[in-house]
Amino acid sequence: MAAKIDVELRNIKKVFQNNVVVQNFNLQVEQGEFISFLGPSGCGKTTTLNMIAGFLEPDEGDLFIKGQRMNGVPPHKRELGMVFQTYSLFPHMTVAENVAYGLKLRKVSKTEMQERSKRVLELVKLPHVADRYPKQLSGGQRQRIAIARALVIEPSLLLLDEPLSNLDAKLREELRDELKRLHQEIGVTTIFVTHDQEEALSLSDRIVVLNHGHVEQIGTPADIYHRPASEFVHTFIGKTNKLEGRVVARQDRLLTVETQSGLRLKAVHPERAVAEGDAVTVFIRPEKIRLTAADAPADANRAKGKVELTSFLGAFTECDVRIGTEVLSVKVQMLDPGLSLSIGSDICCQWSPEDVLIMPGERG
């Protein structure tokens, strides 16, 4: 049975003063999906969200919600809830009045208004603050009230515009988990704008990675992280080591690459498009590199170096290892007994050919 499509964008384009902010944007959002728009500042993610909400009109293309074309339809007729970065709560109203405001506009009966407001406050675990005013709440509580206000109208679509960016790191993590729980309980189709990779990876069913108004890739968090479609996606999502080199041998799917500094490494690359003599860019995630003193398996990559820098980050330690003229960033959770990460220590880096990502360059 085919999935129902709640939101569809077809060839959307938006221009501001001759500056193309969004172009050729195509997306289908399935019913109940949690989609994140992820990218750096100015990439077009909030502009696209505002077009879905009806605050902006696309200059080209068509926008559909629940199968109905929405071009020219005002926001209040789109059956959606929106949560802004700045909470936007009315300071002169109590929490209960803020939450019920959308229901009041829709002329819902007083009894139903009270029941629905109470239910949604319980959903965000804040029934005890109903009689308080926004200034009496913490930042995290205010953001949860803003979410409750958006949910109380029972929207078919929930739009979230960087709702966690004004919070401190610990509170942001707590509310991120709260959002995930809410989505699992309610199942409302959600589009979430963020520049925070961790938020997008942990919350989303799929991520849309944007760069200068272009869609770089649409995929699951695992696809985006492990199988990036472009160099931009790979370098923007997480941390990576980037090396330039040339293919010196190819045997079936196994490539041998020599970097510009002379480091030789093996990489598994299934595509036949890369041939011997081609220039390539090599990427290795820091967490894929193991520090060891033991001999590596015959099919593994191994390179000796010296520890140049270490940073203890609680759950793991990051260190830079110099190998000739190359410096590899390594993320270590557990260090083998007998190894030292002191500055200047001799160390050996080991990683699998399957953990090396190859991006083709120019033909040799």
Mean pLDDT of 5-21: 94
**Encoding tokens for residue 354?**
């399957």
Q: Identify the domain boundary among 236, 264, 281.
A: 236
- pLDDT tens for each residue of 174-203: 888 888 988 998 899 999 999 999 999 999
Write the CATH number for 302.
2.40.50.100
Reported confidence tier of residue 364, pLDDT bands at 50, 70, 90:
very low
Range of lowest pLDDT (82-86, 106-110, 153-157, 348-352): 82-86
Note the pLDDT of residue 363. 46
pLDDT digits (tens, 9 = 90+) for 67-84: 999 999 999 889 899 988
In this structure, the answer to whether residues 189 and 264 fall within a common structural domain is: no
Report how many domains make up the chain: 2
Q: Which one-letter DSSP state was computed for residue 155? A: -
Identify the domain containing residue 342 by its residue range.
241-360
Average pLDDT, the chain: 90
Task: List beta partners, residue 68.
Answer: 65
> Which is nearest to 255 in space by CA: 350, 360, 363?
360
Residue type, 69: R
Is residue 192 domain-shared with residue 88, that is, in the same domain? yes
pLDDT of the residue at 296:
58
Non-local CB neighbours of 176 within 8 Å, separated by 6+ positions: 164, 199, 202, 203
Considering the domain architecture, whether residues 199 and 215 belong to the same structural domain is answered as yes
- Where do we find the tokens 């869609």? 215
Shared domain for 11 and 159, answered yes or no, is: yes
Q: Are 80 and 171 in a shared domain?
A: yes
- What's the token pair of residue 320? 């830079």
Same domain, 19 and 143: yes
User: Between the CA atoms of 171, 208, 60 and 20, what dihedral angle is there, to the nearest 10 degrees?
Assistant: 80
Residue 177 shares a structural domain with residue 31: yes
Distance of CA 114 to the CA centre of its chain: 36
Q: Do 192 and 255 reside in the same domain of the chain?
A: no
Same domain, 83 and 139: yes
152 and 275 share one domain = no
Q: What pLDDT digit, counting tens, does each position of 69-125 carry?
A: 999 999 988 989 998 887 788 999 999 999 999 888 888 898 999 999 999 999 888
pTM (whole model) above 0.85:
yes
Residue 7 contacts residue 69 (beta carbons within 8 Å): no
